[in-house]
């Protein structure tokens, strides 16, 4: 049943560029898709380990900058009179490096942050994102600062026997984003349903109990942070090569908030949640554009976030799923997963 829904949803999404000819809408769908990937990665932390990271855009932005700089090349002075010169590499290498380096940053932030929890964790992550933004703004030699990195090449896929396919059009980029999103979705789904996923949820629900049965908190949370950051880095790379210009505004806090809203509204801790929430909130500005001034749209955005937290605190997907299950079985839906014997046997 669930598989059918998933396949239908993918088929529907896959058919869009075949009938949708409006470039504005297609563009909105592509950028929304990129942010949905970011939201899915955020959900891995927020929904499955319970850690609210409000600096998530840092990994997205680092991915974007790494990928852009790899494919554009740079020439910077280092202390001691040395120069570091990098000749442009193919964008696809930039994509891979973006994933690796964002993941590495996720490792350090993970190590650093999980020493502190709750409100302090949130503030550390915000601070990290802001420091990275200020570096991007002020290290003009590397990043061009506010002048932005321009003319970022599109991703080119090497096709054995056919040369290269440069993904320049919206049509191409739509499918690129869709494929990466699918891979990210499957990866997260696989992870969540593994032993490791149960360890994560065990930690989220009762840390003391989880630790007492031998789950290594720091290790589990750090791995989750690395994977989450790496996926966000991939999304950032897609963004850089699609938009083809990036400036330090990519690190703006509002972009993190957008991802958080996508996760919370769709339903944190639900695999489909960020996708549903992401499509709704990514396309909401498109729907509101003809009827509202941009400032009024943002007022509505904040208002909707508050309304969702008041009315549907668990998010759209879990609330709908619960209603659907109740109707089918005539009984209350399953209680939330708790730490049972299965995860108690978890090897650390």
Partner 1 sequence: MSEFLQHLINMLVLGGTYALLGIGLTLIFGIMNVVNFTHGVLYTFGAYIMFIVVQQLGLNFFLALPVAVLAGWLLGAAIELTLLRPLRGSDIDTTMLVMIGAWIAMQSGTLWIWGGVAKSVATPFPEAPLVLGPVSVSWLRLFVLAAAAMLILVTYLLINKTSLGRAMRATFQDHDTASLMGVNVDMIYTSTFAIGSSLAAAAGALLGPVYVIFPQMGDLAAVKAFAIVILGGLGNITGAVIGGFILALAEELGAGYVSSGYRDAMGFLIIIAVLIFRPTGLFARAERVG
Q: Supply 89's token pair.
A: 């590499």
Report the first-to-last Cα separation within the chain, whole angstroms.
34
Chain centre to alpha carbon of residue 45: 10
Stretch that binds partner 1, among 133-141, 178-186, 323-331, 337-345 (CB under 8 A): 133-141
Only one residue has tokens 């490096």, namely 97
CB of 321 to partner 1, least distance (A): 20
Stretch that binds partner 1, among 18-26, 158-166, 294-302, 327-335 (CB under 8 A): 294-302
CB of 298 to partner 1, least distance (A): 4
Nearer to partner 1, 245 or 293 (CB): 293
Q: How far is CA 282 from CA 50, 98, 173, 276, 302, in A?
A: 24, 24, 17, 10, 14
CB of 114 to partner 1, least distance (A): 11
- Kindly write out the interface string for residues 100-129 of this chain, putting x where it contacts partner 1 by CB under 8 A and - elsewhere: ------------x--xx-xxx-xxx-xxx-
296 binds partner 1 (CB under 8 A): yes
Nearer to partner 1, 186 or 293 (CB): 293
Which of helix, strand or coil describes residue 70?
A: helix
158 φ/ψ angles, rounded to the nearest 5 degrees: -75, 125
Among 310, 330, 331, 341, indicate the residue that binds partner 1 (CB under 8 A). Answer: 310
Contact between residue 207 and residue 217 where contact means Cβ atoms under 8 Å apart: yes
Chain centre to alpha carbon of residue 296: 26
Which residues bind to partner 1, rule: CB under 8 A? 52, 112, 115-116, 118-120, 122-124, 126-128, 130-131, 134-135, 137-138, 253-254, 257, 260, 264, 293, 295-299, 301-306, 309-310, 313
């Amino acid at each position: 049943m669930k598989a059918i829904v998933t396949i239908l949803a993918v088929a529907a999404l896959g058919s869009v560029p075949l009938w949708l000819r409006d470039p504005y809408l297609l563009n909105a769908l592509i950028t929304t898709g990129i942010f949905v990937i970011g939201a899915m990665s955020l959900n891995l932390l927020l929904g499955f380990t319970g850690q609210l990271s409000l600096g998530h855009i840092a990994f997205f932005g680092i991915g974007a900058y790494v990928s852009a700089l790899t494919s554009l090349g740079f020439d910077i002075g280092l202390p001691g009179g040395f120069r570091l010169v990098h000749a442009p590499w193919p964008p696809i290498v930039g994509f891979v490096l973006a994933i690796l380096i964002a993941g590495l940053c996720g490792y350090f932030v993970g190590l650093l942050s999980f020493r502190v929890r709750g409100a302090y964790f949130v503030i550390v992550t915000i601070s990290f994102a802001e420091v990275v933004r200020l570096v991007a703004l002020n290290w003009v030699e590397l990043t061009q600062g506010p002048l932005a990195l321009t003319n970022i090449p599109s991703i080119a896929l090497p096709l054995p026997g056919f040369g290269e396919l440069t993904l320049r059009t919206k049509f191409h980029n739509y499918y690129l984003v869709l494929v990466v999103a699918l891979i990210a979705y499957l990866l997260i789904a696989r992870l969540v349903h593994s032993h490791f996923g149960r360890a994560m949820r065990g930690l989220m629900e009762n840390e003391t109990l989880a630790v007492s049965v031998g789950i290594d908190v720091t290790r589990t949370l750090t791995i989750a942070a690395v994977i989450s950051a790496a996926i966000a880095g991939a999304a950032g790379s897609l963004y850089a090569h699609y938009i083809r210009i990036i400036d330090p505004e990519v690190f703006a806090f509002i972009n993190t908030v957008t991802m958080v809203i996508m996760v919370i509204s769709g339903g944190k801790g639900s695999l489909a949640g960020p996708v549903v929430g992401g499509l709704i909130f990514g396309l909401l500005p498109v729907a509101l554009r003809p009827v509202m001034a941009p400032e009024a749209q943002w007022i509505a955005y904040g208002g909707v976030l508050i309304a969702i937290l008041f009315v549907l605190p668990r998010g759209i997907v879990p609330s709908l799923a619960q209603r659907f299950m109740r109707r089918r079985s005539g009984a209350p839906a399953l209680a939330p997963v708790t730490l049972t014997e299965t995860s108690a046997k978890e090897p650390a």
